[in-house]
Structure 1
Amino acid sequence: MGSPSGVRRRRTDMLAVAERAEHAEELFAVTSARLRRVVTFDAAVWSATDPETGLVTAPMRVENLGGGEHCAAYWESEVLDEGPFAFRDLARAEAAVASRRHRGHRPWQAGNEELRAVLRAGRRTWGVVSLFRDRGRAPFGPGELEFVAGLSAPLAARLRSFARPAGVRQAPDAPGPGLVLFDGSGRATSVNEEARHHLARFPTGPSADTELGVRLPIWVVTAALQARVPGRTARVRVRTIDGHWLVCHASAMSGPGGAAGPTVLVIEPAAASDMAVIVAEAYELSPRELEITQLIALGLTTGEIAGRLFISPHTVRDHVKAVFAKVRVSSRGELVARLFAENFWPRRVRTDPTPSRTGGQGGRRRP
C-alpha cells in the first residue's frame, strides 16, 4: 500500500474528489476508481442503503460481477445468510469492515476473497460496499481493511447529504399504489399498471428479468425476499429519476393451515411517516428539532409549539435557530419550502390566534 504518508495523501485526495461528486452514482464511480489504486480488487458492488431498515436501494453500482441474475443471487444470499458477515450485523459491529474467504461455488462469486464495509454516519448506515479478489490472490490485509474503514464515515456523510429534498412537488395526478405479487418461490407472477408506472421512474441499475414484461430492480427483489424472513422489516425508500421519493414495502401472506402464501409488494409515494427519518438524518436534526420542524410545517406559532411540547418559548426559539443553521435558511417560510416541497407533511394556515398554555399569542411569527 506504500508508506504511511503516501497512504494518508491518497486518502485525502480520494475524499476531496468524493466531496466534489454531485450525486451518489458519481460518488461510487470516482471512489471505486481511486480505491482500486490503493486496495487491489477484481470486482465490486457499491450500493446506497435505506438508513432506517438497512436494505439496499438506489443507486447501485456493480463492477465485473456478471448480469442481473448473478447480482440478484448475491443479494438473495445476503438476505438469507445468518452468519456474522451479513451487512446487517456488520452495521452494528464496532468495526465497519470485515473480510472472508468464500468456500462455495455460487455463480455470483467473482472470487474467493471478499472485503465488506458499511458506510456509517452515527448510528445509521447509508451505503455498503463489497470488494472481491479472484482466486489465487492474497487475502485482504489489515492495512487494507483499515484504509477502507477510514472511508466509512466521510462517504456516509456525503451519501446522507444527497438524501435532502430536491425541491420538486408530486404531480396532482400521480398514480396510486403499485402492486407486485410474488409466489412462494419468489417469482413475480402479476403486476398492475400503477406498479409499471412507478418502476419506470426508478433509476437504472441491476435488475432481474420477469415473465411480466418488466425487469425488477434489485432493491425491489430484496424487499420481497426480506418479507419472507420472520422478524425482518421489508421496507425501503427509493429516490426516483425525477427527484421524488417512493416507498416499497412487502408482506408475506399465508394460506390455509398456515401454509406459505404469496408475497405482496406495494410501491407508492412516500408519506410523512416514511420520510421523517430521511429528512432528520439528511440535515442532522435531533429528534426534538425534527418534532419542532414538523409543528412549524403545520403552522403552529412559537407559543403554540411551546405549549404542545411543555417547554418554554425561549427553548423553542433556540431549537428553531439551530434548525435554521443546519438547513441554511433564515425564515420559517424558507424552512418549509426547503424541507417539505414534496408535501411530506401537510401544511395548514392558522386563522384563530388561540393563546397557548404558556401565554404566547398566535399570528406572530418568530424563530
Structure 2
Amino acid sequence: MHMVVGSAAVAGVRDGIERMSRSSLPAGDFLIESAELLSRAVPSVAACVAMLDPATAIVTGVTKQGALAGRNESDLHWARIEYGEDDPTAVRTMVAGGRTAIGVSHEFGGAAERSLRMAELLTPVFGFTDEARVVFADRTGAWGAISMFRGSDDRAFDEEDLACLEAVVPAVTRGIRGGLLTQTRMPRDAAEGASAVVIVDEEDRVARMTPGARTKIDALARGAATADPLTVLHSLVQRARRAEPDASPVRIRLRTPDGCWLVLSAERLEGGRGRDIIVTIDDARPHDIVDLVAAAFGLTARERDVVALVLRGRDTREIASTLFLSPYTVQDHLKAIFDKAGVTSRRQLVARVYFDHYAPH
C-alpha cells in the first residue's frame, strides 16, 4: 500500500471532520464516518471503531472496516487481552496516562511483536504488523476510540501519522458527545423493557440467559459490519473477573441504535462456581445516565452537581445550602448550564434530560 499522503489532503480531512462534528449525526454513525474520512489521511488496511462509556473506558459498541469487516471469530480473544491482561497500549492505560494516539511499533521501538495483542492475535490471525490507536477524550472522559491496522507490505505508523490522529481528537470527541444527545429515541414495546440476565461460565461461554436477553444483546448491533454484540458483554465480563471479590459490579451505559439507553452490570455470581459471572441488562433510569448526559453537555463537575439537584426539584436556596454556595453563584451556574444544554429554563432542562433520554414505555 502506498502510504504517502499530502498535507492538503490531511487538512481537508481535518476540516471535514470539524464540519461533520456539528452536523448532529447520531454518535455511532458520526464515529464510523469519521473513521472513513480519517483513513484518507492515515491509510490502513482495516479499522475497528469503538464507542466507550466515559466513566469506565469499556467498549459499548464496535464496528469494523476494511479487512476486518465480518471477521468476528476472535472477538472474545480480543476482549480477554484488552480487559483481562496488562498492556501499556490498552485503551484504559492510554486514558489513565492522558495519551490520545499511539503506534504499537513506535511504542515498542520497532518491535511490535512485544505487544501481547499483536503477538497472540493481530499478527497470527489477521496478518497485521502494526496498529495505531486513537482515543477520543477530553476532561469529561473517553467517549470513543479507533484502531487502525497495517500489514507486512506497509510501513509502520510514524510520528506524522500519530500527529494527524491527535489533531482530530477534539472535533471527534465533540461530535460523539453531541451525537449522543441528538439521537432520537424510537418507541418500544413494553416487553422489551424487561430486565435480562446472562450467566457466563469460567470458560467465557454463555451458560444461561433469561428470555429476552438475546433480543437485548442483538439490539446493540449497528449493521452487517458490527462486531459480535457479545463483544460488549465479554469486555464487561473480563473487567469483572479482574475486580476484587467484594468490589461493586462493573457497569457500562450505552445507547442502542434505536435510541434506548441500557445499563449492563457484571459481577461474580454469589453462591455459584468461583469464576461464573452474572451480567444484568436493564433499561436505564434517569439516575443511571444523568451524569453521562451532563458530561455530554460539557458541564463542569460543579455544574453537574447543580443539575443533579435541579432534577430532584430543589430550588436555588436549597441548592446553595447543599453545595455551600451563594444563591448568586448558583444562578451563574444555571446560566452556564442552560447555555450548554440549549435551554432557557429549569423546566426545559428537566424535559431535555428526562424526555430526550428516558421516557416511560
TM-score interval for Structure 1 and Structure 2 normalised by the shorter chain: 0.7 to 0.9
For 1:220 and 1:47, the matched residues in 2 are separated by 14
Which residue pairs with 2:217 in the alignment?
Answer: 199
Which residue pairs with 2:234 in the alignment?
Answer: 221
Q: Is the Cα–Cα contact under 8 Å of residues 24 and 159 in structure 1 kept in the other structure? A: yes
Which residue pairs with 1:340 in the alignment?
Answer: 354
For 2:45 and 2:135, the matched residues in 1 are separated by 19
Instruction: Answer yes or no: is 1:303 the counterpart of 2:321.
Output: no
Which residue pairs with 1:140 in the alignment?
Answer: 157
Distance 1:176 1:73, change over 3 A: same
Specify every segment of 5 or more residues in structure 1 that has no aligned partner in the other structure, as ranges.
Answer: 209-215, 347-367
**TM-score (structure 2 length as normaliser):** 0.83
Q: Is the Cα–Cα contact under 8 Å of residues 25 and 61 in structure 1 kept in the other structure? A: no
- Once the two structures are superposed, residues 46-74 of structure 1 have per-residue CA deviations (whole angstroms, 9 ceiling, x without a partner) of 11100000000125344322522223322
Q: Report deviation, 1:133.
A: 0.5
Q: 1:267 aligns with which of 281, 288, 291?
A: 281
Question: Over alpha carbons, which structure has the higher Rg?
Answer: 1
Higher mean Cα deviation, 227-236 or 29-38? Answer: 227-236
Higher mean Cα deviation, 325-334 or 193-202? Answer: 193-202
Which residue pairs with 1:353 in the alignment?
Answer: none
For 1:51 and 1:157, the matched residues in 2 are separated by 13
Which residue pairs with 2:45 in the alignment?
Answer: 42
Which residue pairs with 1:161 in the alignment?
Answer: 178
Distance 1:38 1:195, change over 3 A: same
For 2:329 and 2:189, the matched residues in 1 are separated by 38
Distance 1:17 1:280, change over 3 A: closer
Q: Report deviation, 1:194.
A: 3.8
For 1:269 and 1:10, the matched residues in 2 are separated by 37
Q: Report deviation, 1:170.
A: 7.7
For residue 219 of structure 1, what is the amino acid of its counterpart?
V
For 2:348 and 2:322, the matched residues in 1 are separated by 23
Q: Secondary structure at the match of 2:144?
A: strand
The percent of aligned pairs where both chains have the same amino acid is: 26
Which residue pairs with 1:22 in the alignment?
Answer: 25
Which residue pairs with 2:201 in the alignment?
Answer: 183
- Once the two structures are superposed, residues 168-194 of structure 1 have per-residue CA deviations (whole angstroms, 9 ceiling, x without a partner) of 588766643210001101000110014
RCO higher in 1 or 2 (8 Å CA, sep ≥ 6)?
2
Which residue pairs with 1:125 in the alignment?
Answer: 142
Q: 1:243 aligns with which of 232, 254, 259?
A: 259
Q: Is the Cα–Cα contact under 8 Å of residues 119 and 127 in structure 1 kept in the other structure? A: yes
Q: Report deviation, 1:249.
A: 0.8
Q: Secondary structure at the match of 1:292?
A: helix
Distance 1:200 1:318, change over 3 A: same
Higher mean Cα deviation, 88-97 or 247-256? Answer: 247-256
For 2:326 and 2:279, the matched residues in 1 are separated by 45
Which residue pairs with 1:77 in the alignment?
Answer: 81
Q: Report deviation, 1:127.
A: 0.7
**Paired residues, what number?**
337
Q: Is the Cα–Cα contact under 8 Å of residues 177 and 267 in structure 1 kept in the other structure? A: yes
Higher mean Cα deviation, 76-85 or 323-332? Answer: 76-85
Q: Report deviation, 1:32.
A: 2.6
Q: 1:313 aligns with which of 327, 330, 334?
A: 327
For 2:180 and 2:191, the matched residues in 1 are separated by 24
Higher mean Cα deviation, 67-76 or 41-50? Answer: 67-76
Q: Report deviation, 1:268.
A: 0.6
Q: Secondary structure at the match of 2:330?
A: helix
Instruction: Answer yes or no: is 1:12 the counterpart of 2:12.
Output: no
For 2:265 and 2:329, the matched residues in 1 are separated by 38
For 1:324 and 1:64, the matched residues in 2 are separated by 45
Specify every segment of 5 or more residues in structure 2 that has no aligned partner in the other structure, as ranges.
Answer: 106-111, 114-118
Q: CA RMSD in A?
A: 2.8
Q: How does 1:345-364 map to 2 (within 5 A)?
A: none
Higher mean Cα deviation, 234-243 or 16-25? Answer: 16-25
Higher mean Cα deviation, 70-79 or 52-61? Answer: 70-79
For residue 248 of structure 1, what is the amino acid of its counterpart?
L
Q: Secondary structure at the match of 2:178?
A: helix
